[in-house]
Amino acid sequence: MATKRFLTGITTTGTPHLGNYVGAIRPAVEASRRDDTENFYFLADYHALIKCHDPAQVMQSRLEIAATWLAMGLDPERAVFYRQTDVPEIMELTWILTCMSAKGLMNRAHAYKAAVQDNVDSGASDPDKGVTMGLFNYPILMAADILMFKATHVPVGRDQIQHLEMTRDIAQRFNHHYKDLLVLPEVVVSEEEDAVLTGLDGRKMSKSYGNTIPLFEPTKKLRKLVMKIVTNSQEPGEAKSTEGSSLFEIYRAFASAEETAEFAQAYADGIGWGDAKQRLYEKLESVLAEPRERYLDLISKPAEMEDIMQAGAVKARAHSVPLIEAMREAVGIASFKP
């Protein structure tokens, strides 16, 4: 095994937007090209079922997100790229870990506590109203995702650090009680993971706010969305501050240092908002035009996409099958045959 093995989960809900690219996709694809690491990327489609119960939406999102990562340069020959649902050993490991996980630990999970607090605040008679076991056990499934592939490093946003700590706790408990089989992962919080791109309305770009710019919008729709970005009432000719400007923030995320400096000077020189938006649109189009073509080609060939994901599953299961066999033996449910 390489000195470092990185694992990244990709939730299959919604359509990828510019913020997803800057915060997760771009840094992960760049990392996958390093020669001194092994990289595992998976579509977390079991996780999607926790929040989304629309089969058509789940199916479409899986296809869109897989095509997005491939279009943006993820090479399935250099990395292990697979769907969570194609590795049945993950669910078996989830159950084994569930039997070693304290309920008190799950009670402290942020997502569960937030759901309970929402119920308390709304005056619900049952604090667990609407809480499914999928939501409650989410950290254990996440632990199985990580521990199955002996990941040494897991890039996450700060809101996921608790789940990595839980993963380490669960792994330590298993190793202590049975056998030292599970690798304790290290948390990696990168600047990119914590990067937050501002959306059309000045708030964080998020599907829940409906203020996103989808990554592969057609040219005309992309320009239309850029022109909707909220700006202040300053007139052309007035010097403008880049501080707090959604336009500038998005431009900087896609431009070189030199281009960013030139755009900042244009702000100081009083560029009109219409011209500034046009510049942003042109920059986005220059970066996204070729990946968009690759994406549209990929998404139009679901059979070929399926072949890519199945090949990834074969590579993933080369790791998961031996571990689950060792886990079965450790807990006493191995074959009767010697």
> Is 135's pLDDT higher than 90?
yes
For residue 206, the tally of other CB atoms under 10 A from its CB is 15
Co-location of 52 and 107 in the same domain: yes
Is there a domain that residue 209 lies in? Answer: no
Is there a domain that residue 272 lies in? Answer: yes
Co-location of 184 and 264 in the same domain: no
pLDDT value, residue 194: 44
Co-location of 149 and 15 in the same domain: yes
Helix (H) or strand (E) holding 10: strand 4-11
Co-location of 104 and 17 in the same domain: yes
pLDDT value, residue 198: 87
| Residue recorded with tokens 């948390």 | 187
Q: State the Cα–Cα distance between residues 317 and 48, nearest whole angstrom.
A: 21
| Token output for 165 | 């700590």
| Residue recorded with tokens 């070729």 | 290
Is there a domain that residue 85 lies in? Answer: yes
Is there a domain that residue 201 lies in? Answer: no
Contact 89, 319 (CB under 8 A): no
Is there a domain that residue 202 lies in? Answer: no
Co-location of 85 and 177 in the same domain: yes
Co-location of 84 and 157 in the same domain: yes
Closest listed residue to residue 26, CA positions, set 293, 291, 283 = 291
Co-location of 264 and 134 in the same domain: no
Tell me the pLDDT tens digit for each residue of 143-197.
Answer: 999 999 999 999 887 778 999 999 999 999 999 999 999 999 999 886 554 457 8
| Residue recorded with tokens 């850029």 | 226
Q: How far apart are the first and last CA of the chain?
A: 28
Q: What CATH number is attached to the domain comprising 241?
A: 1.10.240.10
Q: State the Cα–Cα distance between residues 275 and 266, nearest whole angstrom.
A: 10
What 3-state class would DSSP assign to 153? strand
Is there a domain that residue 207 lies in? Answer: no
Co-location of 45 and 173 in the same domain: yes
pLDDT value, residue 193: 46
Burial of 314 (0-12, 13-18, 19+ CB in 10 A): exposed
| Residue recorded with tokens 């046009």 | 278
pLDDT value, residue 12: 85
Residue type, position 12, single letter: T
Tell me the pLDDT tens digit for each residue of 89-125.
Answer: 999 999 999 999 999 999 999 999 999 999 999 999 9
Tell me the pLDDT tens digit for each residue of 193-228.
Answer: 445 788 899 888 888 788 999 999 999 999 999 999
Pick 53 or 337 by higher pLDDT: 53
Q: How many domains does the chain have?
A: 2
Is there a domain that residue 17 lies in? Answer: yes
| Residue recorded with tokens 């033996």 | 329
Is there a domain that residue 79 lies in? Answer: yes
Q: State the Cα–Cα distance between residues 261 and 252, nearest whole angstrom.
A: 9
Tell me how far the alpha carbon of residue 294 is from its chain's centroid: 21
Residue type, position 127, single letter: P
Residue 276 structural domain: 216-297
Beta strand 186-188 with 153-155 is: parallel
Task: For helices 138-148 and 161-177, give the axis angle rounded to 10 degrees.
Answer: 70
Co-location of 237 and 132 in the same domain: no
| Token output for 335 | 């074959």
Co-location of 51 and 138 in the same domain: yes
The number of CA neighbours under 13 Å toward the Cβ of 19 is: 21
Co-location of 114 and 243 in the same domain: no
pTM of the model: 0.88
Q: What letter does residue 229 receive in the DSSP assignment? A: S
| Token output for 267 | 């702000």
Contact 173, 165 (CB under 8 A): no
Sorting pLDDT into bands at 50, 70 and 90, what band is 28?
confident
| Residue recorded with tokens 């000077």 | 265
What 3-state class would DSSP assign to 290? helix
Q: What CATH number is attached to the domain comprising 18?
A: 3.40.50.620
Co-location of 326 and 258 in the same domain: no
Residue type, position 30, single letter: E
